[in-house]
């Protein structure tokens, strides 16, 4: 279903524009900025691995090596190409030992996903606030209306991810969980914001690849919104909804075929880590099967 939905959106987008112009744009990018875009995968993967190791050790009381953390993180990127809603992280449940964990592994995985969403929302609203703070009252009203709408969407998404029944049954446990881990949660949030700033910066370099300069804050706001759309709307790796959101947000500032080209290259944010992570995914799965057979 997710593949179909992403394919339909991509087909509708490409069907309305000249593919030759899109390919021409891609062939004539600024490769210096494209190399900057590629380089950001290094800190992205390192920070993601460090955060997961931190969560497992400090919150879940489950010690894993940095390399093990890296393997699990990069392998989940591969799973994003199969599991809708960029929920590839749930595959880590297969590789976690329940006996060594302080909390439910399901809770820990969704805890990380929750802070991913929260971080992108914070980046989006902060960039939007700085863009609109000097404007007139109509923009301010728009801003706070926007906050209300997206807050509702965010709450709905969290409830959908965690399941309402799960929350009701475990409300006291969740309350104690947050109370007992306030300091560590603050560090996780800080790491998550830094992680997503790196990924949003990738969009900035992609815009620069196509010689587009609409302002740093505009790019942060529009890119954050596209990431949110890709995470919340049923799709594979956000492909489709993310591209449509980029087109909608920047269409008054940037030529539409250029935006389609940017959206096409932005898919590399998902595809490249997925390809890198495939050997780790296979290796972790094989090792897990061996443990089961021995058990």
How much of the chain, in percent, has pLDDT values that exceed 70?
71
Find where tokens 């593919």 sit: 19
- Examine the pLDDT at 87 and tell me if it is beyond 90: no
The pLDDT assigned to 145 comes to: 52
| pLDDT tens digits, one per residue of 147-183 | 556 666 666 565 555 555 555 555 556 666 667 778 8
Q: 87 is written with which tokens?
A: 């929920």
Of 109 and 201, which is predicted with more confidence? 201
Measured CA to CA, the distance from residue 25 to residue 206 in angstroms comes to 12
Condensed to tens digits (0 to 9), the pLDDT of residues 37-76 reads 999 999 999 999 999 999 888 877 788 899 999 999 999 8
9-13, 31-35, 117-121: least confident range: 9-13
Picking from 204, 251, 271, 223, the residue whose alpha carbon sits closest to that of residue 36 is 204
* Position 137 pLDDT exceeds 50: no
The model's pLDDT over 174-223, given as tens digits with 9 standing for 90+, comes to: 666 667 778 888 899 999 999 999 999 999 999 999 999 888 888 998 89
Q: Note the pLDDT tens digit of each residue in 65-86.
A: 999 999 999 998 888 777 766 6
pLDDT of residue 138: 47
| 219 in Cβ contact with 207 (< 8 Å) | yes
Contacts 24+ apart (CB under 8 A), 10-16: 10/239, 10/240, 10/243, 13/243, 13/244, 13/247, 13/260, 13/263, 14/260
Q: How many C-alpha atoms does 257 have within 13 Å on its Cβ side? A: 12
Q: What is the pTM of this model?
A: 0.82
């Amino acid at each position: 279903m997710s593949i179909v939905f992403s394919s339909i959106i991509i087909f509708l987008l490409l069907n309305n524009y000249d593919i030759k112009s899109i390919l021409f744009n891609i062939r004539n990018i600024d490769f210096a900025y494209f190399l900057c875009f590629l380089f950001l995968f290094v800190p992205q993967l390192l920070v993601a691995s460090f955060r997961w190791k931190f969560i497992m050790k400090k919150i879940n009381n489950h010690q894993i090596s940095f390399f093990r953390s890296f393997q699990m993180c990069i392998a989940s990127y591969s799973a994003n190409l199969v599991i809708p809603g960029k929920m590839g992280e749930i595959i880590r449940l297969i590789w976690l030992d329940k006996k060594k964990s302080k909390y439910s592994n399901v809770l820990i995985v969704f805890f990380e996903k929750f802070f991913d969403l929260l971080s992108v929302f914070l980046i989006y609203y902060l960039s939007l606030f700085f863009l609109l703070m000097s404007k007139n009252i109509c923009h301010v009203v728009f801003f706070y209306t926007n906050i209300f709408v997206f807050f509702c969407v965010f709450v709905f998404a969290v409830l959908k991810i965690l399941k309402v029944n799960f929350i009701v049954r475990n409300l006291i446990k969740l309350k104690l969980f947050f109370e007992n881990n306030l300091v560590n949660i603050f560090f996780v949030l800080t790491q998550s914001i830094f992680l997503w700033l790196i990924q949003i910066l990738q969009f900035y370099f992609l815009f620069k690849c196509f010689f587009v300069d609409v302002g740093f804050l505009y790019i942060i706001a529009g890119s954050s919104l596209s990431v949110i759309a890709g995470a919340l709307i049923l799709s594979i790796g956000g492909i489709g909804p993310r591209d449509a959101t980029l087109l909608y947000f920047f269409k008054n500032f940037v030529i539409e075929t250029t935006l389609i080209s940017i959206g096409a290259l932005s898919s590399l944010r998902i595809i490249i880590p997925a390809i890198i992570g495939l050997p780790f995914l296979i290796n972790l799965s094989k090792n897990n099967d061996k443990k089961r057979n021995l058990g």
